[in-house]
Structure formats: structure tokens, C-alpha cells
């Protein structure tokens, strides 16, 4: 085994050479900052030093981030070609290989735990920290979203490279645990350190959403636009702005954002597809005609649905879109695949909450609001099993309000609106609009 080099965060890297490690550092920073081209950076690292095991693992991670059957297959091939590489890896590399292989095998929890062990070994392992938090996001594990960063905070003094990114990562975990003041403080500190930290922008956008500070959210995303509009995560920030406009009663601006920004390029990445689907579903709840847009999006999603289901969160949004387009038989196939084909962590999520969500949204779209209510009214506390954030899963509450109104259960609709308004007073008018639009 050759001598270890150090990455820019002071953690040993086995294999490769200085040029390869520097290229991998740049690729990791692209991933953490949600900017640039992480894959190109990893390719450069492999080209500069083919025995840099972490560069190959990084490419496998990027394939797995696609949360698709082809992505899993591509990652599995990368990892298979890597072999055991026992003469090239240290303990850090072995844990990352274990994490990537667990993820590719469908055991996302085991992948996260391997990364946690990597962070115990090296608390400044930026790659392990970023991938672990993202896995916890996919898993819907809100405590771990926060604590994976909390456990390493002391290892990242403000004078060291990467401090700002860790603050932004921690900020998002704090927000998902309703610690909004500390989340805002950490996110703003990260942005003062680096205004182009898109994850920190995203964390603060969530704070505005959860607190119902829609005007502040619009102003913030407008002011920071030059810092994040070139990010491959930009669609999601546009989606957040569209949510602000919807609750402000400015549905025309939300539609304009859908056309100009969210679906301008007709991306077929699930990262962007789910935002488009979720916004169209919300627009339909508010009574807007999105027929043509739903048809186009459903056609784009159709080509993504071959193979074994990998992530119930994606399939949930496919069900939304197929339902909006009236493709109810297609939704039955999605349901059948999720009952029969999925494995590992995703299978557990499907059993815990996924099937009820898929069936509930399919029923609502098919004109069966009573059945939708029966399926979904009791799963809000466990719906985190399918992944996503509180803001993303908020569509469940909105749909329940609409379903109650459509089912003629006015008292239940009013109760759900009261519950929502108590939690977020600024959402009252928008919730009442859903009731009015969907009442019999």
C-alpha cells in the first residue's frame, strides 16, 4: 500500500497522486456546493490517477443519486470493476466502498451507517458528511439530518476550509427539526462565508416556507438569484419560490415559474421531475387548468419508469402526474410494480407508507375522494418513510383538505384548514381557496 496523501480538508487519501486528489477535492466541493460539474471533476480525478479508489466510488455515488434503476446498474458496474482493491485502499476507502455497495444493493440504511463510521474515523471527511445527509434525506430521517452534522461540528473550526459548507448542512438539519432560528443563523453564516453555497440558500428557503414568511422568501430568492441560478439545483429553488407565490394567491406567477424556469429545459432528471410534478399537483388543487402541461410531463416521466422501482418518492410523483393526465391504468402498473418488485430499504418504505400514498393520490386523481381520505388520513405521521422534506410532504395535507371538500365532508375540511392555520397563519387564505375550489 502506497503512502497516503491528504485531501484539502486534512483527511488521508490512499492511492492516486497529488493531481488526482486535487481533482477529486474539486469534484467533492462541486457536490457540496451544488455547483459546477461533479462528474467531470471525478472523471478528471480518475484520468489523473486511476488507482484513486475514492474517485471511482464518487462516480458510483453520482450514479446512485439519480435514484433510478439505470443509475443503480451503472453504480454496480463501477463498483464491480473496482474489485476488492485491497492493496489500494485504507480504512476510509473501505468504508466508502462498503457504503456505495450497500446503497447499490438497496440497503440505504446500511450505506448511511458505513458513512457514519467513516465520520467517526475522520470527522472532516466532507464526502462522507454530504452523502450521509443526502441519504438521510432520502430516508426521511429528520433527526439524523441534523445530528450527522452535529456530531462533527467541533472538528470544523471557522478558520478551516469547509466550515461554511458544514454550517449550511447543519442548517438544513436544524430546519427539518423546527429549530428555525438556529437554522437561519447557521445558513446566514454559511452564506456570509460563501454566497454561492446553494445548500445554505436552500436551507434558508425552507425556513421561510415553514414559518410562512412568503414575502421574505420571494425577496431572498430574488436577491440571491445570481448566486444560485447556474446551479444544477436551481430548479428546486425556483420550486420553493413558486410555493411562496401560491400561498400568496399569486398563482399566475407560479405558473410562469413552471414554464420559464422549472420546465424550461424539459429535464428528465428525477431531481427536477419531482418538483415539476409536485407544483402541477398543487396548481390543480387551486383550480388551475394544467392539462397540457400534465400531458407533456407524463410523457417525459413514462420513459423513466422501466425497471424495478428504486425510490417510492419518485413513484409517488409519477402517480401524481399520470393521475393529472388521466392515465389511471398506468398508475395501476406503478402500484403493481411497487407491491411486487421493489426490494431493500425502498420495500420497507413502501410497506410503511408508500403504498397508501400511491393508492391515495391515485384514488384522488381518479375521482374517488372518499377512498383517498381513508387511505391517507392516518399516515401523515409515518409518511416521512418515503423520504423528502416537510415542505415536499406538505402536499399530503393540501390534498387531504381538497379530498374532504370533494367528498362533501365540510366539517373535516374546515378542521384540517384550522389545523394548518394554527401551524402557519399566513397559509389560511390559500387553504380556504382549496376548500372553495374543491367543494361540491
pLDDT in tens, 318-339: 999 999 999 999 999 999 999 9
pLDDT for the residue 1: 46
Digit-coded pLDDT (tens) for 159-186: 999 999 999 999 999 999 999 999 999 9
pLDDT mean over 370-377: 96
Q: What is the pTM of this model?
A: 0.96
Distance between CA 194 and CA 31 in Å, rounded? 15
Q: Is residue 5 part of a domain?
A: yes
- Structural domain that includes position 347: 267-440
Query: Is 233 inside a domain boundary?
Result: no
Q: Mark which of 151, 185, 213 sits at the end of a domain.
A: 213
Residue 4 has pLDDT above 80, yes or no: no
φ and ψ of 12, to 5 deg: -60, 140
Asked whether residue 146 is domain-assigned, the answer is: yes
**pLDDT recorded at residue 82:** 84
What does the pLDDT look like over 106-139, one tens digit per residue?
999 999 999 999 999 999 999 999 999 999 999 9
Cell numbers placing 127: 464526502
In this structure, is residue 219 part of a structural domain?
no
- 42 and 107 fall within a common domain: yes
Judgement on whether residues 273 and 300 belong to the same structural domain of the protein: yes
Does residue 240 surpass a pLDDT of 90? yes
Same-domain check for residues 188 and 278: no
- Single residue among 134, 168, 198 that ends a domain in this structure: 134
Is residue 68 located within the same domain as residue 207?
Answer: no
For residue 19, the domain's CATH number is 1.25.40
Last residue of a domain, one of 108, 134, 160: 134
Does the residue 294 lie in any domain?
Answer: yes
Confidence of residue 225 (pLDDT cuts 50, 70, 90): very high
pLDDT of residue 83 exceeding 80: no
The secondary structure of residue 263, as a DSSP letter, is S
DSSP H helices, 66-141, are 69-82, 91-104, 108-121, 126-139
Q: Work out the mean pLDDT of the chain and round it to a whole number.
A: 95
Mark whether 91 and 1 lie in a shared domain.
yes
Q: Higher model confidence: residue 89 or residue 253?
A: 253
Number of neighbouring beta carbons within 10 Å of residue 145: 25
Which 8-state DSSP code applies to residue 189? Answer: H
Number of domains composing the chain? 3
223 falls within a domain: no
Asked if residue 62 and residue 9 are part of one domain, the reply reads: yes
Assess whether 106 and 200 both reside in one domain.
Answer: no
Largest alpha-carbon pair distance within the chain? Answer: 73
Q: Which single residue is written with the C-alpha cell 421493489?
A: 342
Same-domain check for residues 72 and 178: no
Q: Residue 187 pLDDT more than 50?
A: yes
Do residues 105 and 43 share a domain? yes
- Let me know if residue 232 belongs to a domain: no
pLDDT for the residue 50: 79
Same domain, 151 and 112: no
**Confidence bin at 307 (pLDDT 50/70/90):** confident
Residues 316 and 401 in one domain: yes
pLDDT at residue number 2: 54
Report if residue 256 sits inside a domain: no
Within 8 A by CB and 6+ apart from 126, the residues are 7, 9, 11, 28, 29, 32, 162, 165
Q: Are the C-beta atoms of residues 338 and 309 closer than 8 Å to each other?
A: yes
- Is residue 126 located within the same domain as residue 188? no
Helix (H, G, I), strand (E, B) or coil at 12: strand
Amino acid at each position: 500500500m502506497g503512502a497516503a496523501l491528504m485531501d484539502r480538508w486534512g483527511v488521508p487519501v490512499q492511492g492516486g497522486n497529488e493531481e488526482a486528489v486535487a481533482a477529486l477535492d474539486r469534484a467533492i466541493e462541486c457536490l457540496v456546493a451544488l455547483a459546477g460539474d461533479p462528474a467531470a471533476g471525478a472523471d478528471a480525478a480518475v484520468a489523473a490517477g486511476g488507482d484513486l479508489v475514492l474517485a471511482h466510488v464518487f462516480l458510483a455515488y453520482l450514479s446512485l443519486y439519480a435514484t433510478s434503476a439505470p443509475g443503480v446498474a451503472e453504480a454496480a458496474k463501477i463498483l464491480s470493476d473496482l474489485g476488492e482493491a485491497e492493496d489500494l485502499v485504507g480504512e476510509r476507502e473501505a468504508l466508502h466502498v462498503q457504503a456505495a455497495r450497500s446503497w447499490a444493493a438497496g440497503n440505504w440504511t446500511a450505506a448511511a451507517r458505513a458513512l457514519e463510521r467513516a465520520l467517526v474515523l475522520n470527522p472532516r471527511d466532507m464526502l462522507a458528511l454530504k452523502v450521509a445527509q443526502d441519504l438521510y434525506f432520502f430516508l426521511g430521517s429528520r433527526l439524523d439530518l441534523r445530528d450527522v452534522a452535529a456530531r462533527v461540528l467541533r472538528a470544523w473550526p471557522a478558520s478551516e476550509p469547509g466550515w461554511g459548507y458544514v454550517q449550511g448542512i447543519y442548517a438544513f438539519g436544524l430546519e427539518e427539526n423546527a429549530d428555525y432560528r438556529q437554522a437561519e443563523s447557521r445558513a446566514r453564516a454559511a452564506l456570509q462565508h460563501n454566497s454561492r453555497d446553494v445548500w445554505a440558500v436552500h436551507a434558508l428557503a425552507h425556513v421561510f416556507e415553514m414559518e410562512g414568511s412568503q414575502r421574505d422568501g420571494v425577496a431572498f430568492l430574488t436577491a440571491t438569484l445570481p448566486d444560485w441560478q447556474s446551479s444544477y439545483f436551481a430548479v428546486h429553488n425556483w420550486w420553493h419560490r413558486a410555493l411562496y407565490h401560491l400561498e400568496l394567491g399569486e398563482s399566475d406567477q407560479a405558473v410562469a415559474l413552471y414554464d420559464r424556469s422549472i420546465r424550461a429545459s424539459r429535464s428528465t432528471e428525477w431531481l427536477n421531475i419531482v418538483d415539476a410534478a409536485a407544483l402541477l399537483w398543487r396548481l390543480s388543487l387551486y383550480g388551475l387548468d394544467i392539462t397540457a402541461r400534465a400531458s407533456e410531463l407524463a410523457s417525459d416521466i413514462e420513459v423513466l419508469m422501466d425497471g424495478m422501482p428504486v425510490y417510492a418518492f419518485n413513484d409517488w410523483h409519477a402517480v401524481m402526474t399520470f393521475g393529472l393526465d388521466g392515465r389511471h391504468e398506468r398508475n395501476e402498473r406503478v402500484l403493481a410494480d411497487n407491491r411486487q418488485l421493489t426490494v431493500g430499504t425502498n420495500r420497507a418504505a413502501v410497506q410503511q407508507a408508500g403504498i397508501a400514498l400511491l393508492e391515495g393520490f391515485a384514488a384522488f386523481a381518479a375521482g374517488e375522494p372518499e377512498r383517498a381520505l381513508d387511505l391517507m388520513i392516518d399516515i401523515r405521521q409515518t409518511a416521512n418513510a418515503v423520504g423528502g422534506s416537510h415542505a415536499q410532504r406538505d402536499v399530503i395535507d393540501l390534498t387531504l383538505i381538497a379530498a374532504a371538500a370533494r367528498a362533501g365532508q365540510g366539517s373535516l375540511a374546515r378542521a384540517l384548514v384550522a389545523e394548518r392555520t394554527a401551524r402557519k397563519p399566513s397559509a389560511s387564505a390559500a387553504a380556504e381557496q382549496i376548500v372553495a375550489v374543491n367543494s361540491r
